[in-house]
Structure 1
């Protein structure tokens, strides 16, 4: 996937097909045509994704189509993720006490440009921050003018590019917080993607900090 070969609209169509095959229309209370119409205004914006090169295996992708929890709940979208060439469904860790997941919402800096669906551009899984204190990693990313990923964006990244999530190169999602010291993250457990959390002051050698260049809405 390079800047010379990349076709944003074709990649957008692939991602829409992926979501339809995974049952997102039913999660949204829509049929496939209605779901396609919901996200269709974003197709032209996909063609404007920043030039690469991008290599999913190396942790960089041009964009992902994000469907928010307003349309499809996190508890239902996370089990629709798998590892690359894996079959075991992803899951939400039990460390999220009942009702807590709903409190992990986008920070002001990571607010979605549309309540239902949008594009996230120029994503990096951020393995350079493996072993760094999450608070320090988040500060560096802000200084670079980049934005931290939210829970929904992390799920979208693994959904559309499962090859991004690999052993020792997993990632935190600092764009969703609940007002305490917990930082959500997606890593590998039981041969599947797991949505959990870690403390903002505790570094992990296998956990980086994902970021993106921008969020873009269509005329939805």
Structure 2
């Protein structure tokens, strides 16, 4: 794909607005949370949380439940057919806060790392003091700001990986991008948010590496 300059990242809404969106989409109910619990967490966390992303722990709400709620160009999201095990891609070398809700700070799409393989991008993120997003965190980002997905400027979420029974890593690495409506996706899914995968050692000019500076819950 031709190289283009990515547009500025859309700003995240304030936490109260994010909470209302999760409630309106049914995310809180799917995660076994009441609307009051989500709103109370957002209100408690609001101080010093400008630009933070409100996320549900993947233990409470897996990727497969989030995917249909994603939207781009009016199309619902989907998981590719050869990733039926999407919920087995677990946090890897990432420490998550306890509790069903937490904040993800300083999210970035990692456009500057495009055309690197995941194996090449991971040490670069570490050197920057950042950790890669989980797949579910990336999906929450798209839920709140659908315009973060831009053709030729989508992203991988290499904080989620699948550890196989034989002790090795599955070479598939989760990513979120925009479907072209070709092949098994089907024409009706053109422009839809697509949860898929790329090989660990492959490079893609159109995929950055989404990351964060911190994950936390508000101090008690």
Compute the TM-score of the two structures, normalised by the length of structure 2: 0.81
Q: Does structure 1 residue 90 correspond to structure 2 residue 77?
A: yes
- The alpha-carbon deviation at position 34 of structure 1 amounts to 4.3
Alignment of 1:59-208 (within 5 A): 62-83=51-72, 86-97=73-84, 100-108=85-93, 110-178=94-162, 179-189=169-179, 190-208=190-208
In structure 1, stretches of 5+ residues that fail to align are 1-5, 51-61
Map of 1:53 onto structure 2: none
Map of 2:209 onto structure 1: 209
1:106-135 Cα distance to aligned partner (Å, 9 max, x none)? 012x22112411000001101112211221
- The alpha-carbon deviation at position 187 of structure 1 amounts to 0.5
Q: Does structure 1 residue 16 correspond to structure 2 residue 1?
A: no
Q: Is the 8 A contact 1:68 1:117 kept in 2?
A: yes
In structure 2, stretches of 5+ residues that fail to align are 1-10, 163-168, 180-189
Q: Secondary structure at the match of 1:184?
A: strand
Alignment of 1:24-43 (within 5 A): 24-36=27-39, 40-43=40-43
- The alpha-carbon deviation at position 43 of structure 1 amounts to 3.3
> What is the root-mean-square deviation of aligned Cα atoms in Å?
2.1
Compute the TM-score of the two structures, normalised by the length of structure 1: 0.81
Q: Secondary structure at the match of 1:124?
A: coil
Q: Secondary structure at the match of 1:203?
A: coil
1:103 and 1:24 map into 2 onto residues whose CA distance is: 20
Q: Is the 8 A contact 1:63 1:120 kept in 2?
A: yes
- The alpha-carbon deviation at position 78 of structure 1 amounts to 1.3
Distance 1:139 1:198, change over 3 A: same
Map of 1:57 onto structure 2: none
1:115 and 1:183 map into 2 onto residues whose CA distance is: 26
1:193 and 1:217 map into 2 onto residues whose CA distance is: 29
Q: Is the 8 A contact 2:131 2:213 kept in 1?
A: yes
1:26 and 1:116 map into 2 onto residues whose CA distance is: 12
1:106 and 1:29 map into 2 onto residues whose CA distance is: 21
2:210 and 2:161 map into 1 onto residues whose CA distance is: 14
Q: Is the 8 A contact 1:125 1:171 kept in 2?
A: yes
